[in-house]
Each structure stands twice: as C-alpha cells, then as structure tokens.
Amino acid sequence: MRRTLSLLLGLEEVLSKRLRVLVVMAAIGAGILLVGADGSKVQATQPEHSRGDSSNYFAHQQGHKGKGHNDGLDPALQNKLEAAFEKSFRDGGAPGAIAAVRTPEGTWVSARGVADLSSGEPMRAEMHHRIGSVTKTFTATLLLQAEAEGLLSLDDTIDQYVKGVPNGDEITLRQMANMTSGLADYSVNEQFRDEIFSHPERVWTPQEVVRIGIEDSPIFDPGTDGYYSNTNYILLGLVLEQVTGKPLERLYSKQIIKPLHLKETSFPDAEDSSIPEPHAQGYVLQSKDAEPLNATDWNPSWTWAAGGMISTADDMLLYGRALGTGKGLLPPKQQAERLDSFIVNDIFNDLAYYGLGLTYDRGWIGHGGDIPGYNTQLFYHPDLDATVVVEVNSDIAAGGNCPEGVPTLKDGPKDVPCDIPAHRIFRALTEALGKPATPIPGLESP
C-alpha cells in the first residue's frame, strides 16, 4: 500500500498519496508545505519583532492553566478530560490551546498556556482562531444545500461552470468534494509556496490560485484515485457563487452562520488579514533550525473556500453537532448522502476516510484545519452525541520520532510520538470519552 504521511486530515486531513515527500505543516488541507518536494527548505521574510524565541515558547507554554466553564458533566468525566488535556497539551509543546466537549449531560471547556508569547497573555476559552480546512465543511454544506434546492447536481461536470479545467468534461462536483478529481493542489506548487512565505501580506484571488492548480493537473484520471487538493474547494466556491448569484461570504452568513447563531464565526474579506478580538497569536515553524514565526496577520485570502474562516470554541461546539446530525443545515436526504459518502481505498488510513467535506475516523465525523499559526480539530460522535473541539495557536509538530523533514522545535518534546498539537489533544480527549480516534499512521499501532 502506497502512503505518504500527512500531518493533516485524520491527524489533520489524512494522506496525500502522490506527493514525493512528507506533507507536513501544510496551511489548510494539503496546504503550504514547509519542506519542498526535493527536501529544500522554504524561507520567509519576517519582521524581527514577530520572530519567536523557542526558549520562551516552552517557558510560557508551561505557565498558565486558563479558565473555561463546566456545566452538567459528571465530575469524574471532567477530571478525566482535564487530565487528558493537561498531558497532551504539555506533550505537544504548543504555546496555548482551547479544548471543549459537549454531550447531552453538559459542556466542558478549558484553556491552557498562552495566547501571546511576547506578552505572556493567558489563553482564554473565548478567543478567536483561524480554523483552516474546517471551512471545507461549510463549503460542502452549501454545495449540498444547492443540490437540495435544485440549483445543481453533484453529478454535474465542472466544465458546465468553469472552462479550461483539465478533464473538466469528466470531473464531477462530487469528485471534487470527495477529493477524487485528479486536480493538483495549488498550495504545494513550489513557486506559489515561495511567494506565500516571501510576501505573506499578498492578497490572492480565487482565479489566481485555481490557475496554478490547473497548470499542474491532471495527476490521475477522475475517480480512479484520491488526492487531497485545495483546488477542488476553490472551484466549488466559484460554482456556488455562479449558481446562486451571490458572493460566498453572503452564502456562509445567510445559510449557515446566522441560522445556527454562530455569532463569533466569520469569513473575512480578501483584503482583511485581521482576526476579531480577543484572539490568540499564531505561530509557525519553517525548519528545524529556525525560530517560530508569528503568522497571525498573514493574509489568508489564498485559502478562500478551502480554509478562510475564523471562529471560537463555543461556536464550533454548536456547529459540530449540526454538522454531524444535519439539524439546521441539511434536509435528511442530503445529510444521508453526506454520511454515506466516505471513500475507502489505499490512499487513506485504514480507519480514517474522506467524504463530502467530512472525515470519518473510528465513528468520529468532522474535519481538521491547519493554516500557518493555527491548528484545529472539530468532530462529532453520533453514538455519544458528543462534540469535541480543539483550537491551538501553533501548527508545529512535536515528538522524537518525527520523520526527516518534519520541522520540530529544537527544545521541543522528544519523548512522545510525533503529532501536531490539535490532533494530539483531540485523540487524548476521545480516549477519555471511551471512543479513541486514529493514531498517526506509521508511527503508532492502533
């Protein structure tokens, strides 16, 4: 079985088979590689004041146990969750993190570490974070809503909406949504990667990034393989704007954010690289010998329909259950279609599959998100009627057995298995809940 380890999808977003090297620390789905396909490092320009210091990174990381809120959960379960969060947070070495669990019995929310390495400001449960590829779940939801309204069919081909896509007369919207289209991922293109890190303030249009993905396509015939590509979701965003006649941000707001009362969730304009207050500073690492960079204000326009949203843990708790049940989001027919969409083949871990903008991981349904400086996990388990949210202000891996080319901090934890921080915490919480999620493929035994 041919596999390429990705610290995304199930551990962030499962495996991108056709990359020649490990896909790590990618910005949103298969995202921005910090290691080139030839093993070369990509260097970014960064003002001196925004550079972190790894010694302070870990000093701050150990320093604060933030306040959250607990309501109704059994005290014994609360204690298990706190212990799991504490250990996995320390093992991951991130500056700060927020973790939340909601079941029919109640809600547990907790915070650890710091939101800002420079000031030492503690992480707080209400802070905003970029949620990266969790945005794909919003986009796929809009796609299914459009199908329910008769505006399109998932079996329509992309050339009915966008011309010039290789194999466009064969690639369906369904194949784009479930990552079997064969379209290359613009965000692993080396020239694009160089530009992002050299000019992180640049504003990108959807058409610009799609053009890059198209130039590198196809990488296989539609429906014959699978490959996690952000290009798919940028194109789906363009399709949605075309069939509705409305901008994507209005669709997110009118059809998902407002109906679910997600008051702290937003999809900013392309020119807006700010994050609503209060928010955590986000940190990224480019190579093993580098110091963490503050990526908080890097412009995320290149992620658009694939990863541009911002939210809070409380909003994600509301949204996660709606995503898993379909309530308030989709008609029963479309929700059933979505839950029956998971692709099982040799590109994916034996226990984690990809569907219509969702991951299935040992019963957990949801998505991970990774964008420079921020790392998120959002999953729902129908047997438990439980939602788990993890938000971390770092996407830096930690562990003594991280594969060659995976950047880790010089002073980071070495006596733990390799993982990225949000997934490490997520997995620990699922174990405390009695429904453990998938270990990192190739690094641990299930």
154-192 tens-digit pLDDT:
999 999 999 999 999 999 999 999 999 999 999 999 999
- In this predicted structure, the answer to whether residue 22 has a pLDDT above a threshold of 50 is no
> What was the pLDDT predicted at 65?
64
Averaged pLDDT for residues 397-411: 86
- Residue 79's CB is within 10 A of a number of other CB atoms, namely 12
Averaged pLDDT for residues 20-36: 29
Q: What is the pLDDT of residues 339-374, one digit of tens each?
A: 999 977 554 444 568 999 999 999 999 999 999 999
Averaged pLDDT for residues 49-58: 45
- Mean pLDDT score of the chain: 85
Tell whether 372 is covered by a domain: yes
Name the least confident of 248-252, 260-264, 347-351, 423-427.
347-351
Q: What is the pLDDT of residues 78-129, one digit of tens each?
A: 999 999 999 999 999 999 999 999 999 999 999 999 999 999 999 999 999 9
Averaged pLDDT for residues 146-151: 98
> What was the pLDDT predicted at 380?
98
CATH of the domain at 54: 3.40.710.10
418 or 48, which is more confident:
418
> What was the pLDDT predicted at 286?
80
- In this predicted structure, the answer to whether residue 382 has a pLDDT above a threshold of 60 is yes
Tell whether 325 is covered by a domain: yes
> What was the pLDDT predicted at 297?
97
Tell whether 110 is covered by a domain: yes
Domain count for the chain: 1
Averaged pLDDT for residues 382-403: 94
pTM score, whole prediction: 0.87
Q: Indicate the pLDDT class of residue 66, thresholds 50, 70 and 90.
A: low
- In this predicted structure, the answer to whether residue 288 has a pLDDT above a threshold of 50 is yes
- In this predicted structure, the answer to whether residue 37 has a pLDDT above a threshold of 60 is no
Q: Indicate the pLDDT class of residue 258, thresholds 50, 70 and 90.
A: very high
- In this predicted structure, the answer to whether residue 76 has a pLDDT above a threshold of 70 is yes
Tell whether 143 is covered by a domain: no
Domain hosting 125: range is 9-130+261-432
> What was the pLDDT predicted at 91?
96
Tell whether 219 is covered by a domain: no
Tell whether 320 is covered by a domain: yes
How many angstroms separate the CA atoms of 426 and 395, rounded? 14
Tell whether 174 is covered by a domain: no
Name the least confident of 41-45, 311-315, 327-331, 346-350.
41-45
Tell whether 233 is covered by a domain: no
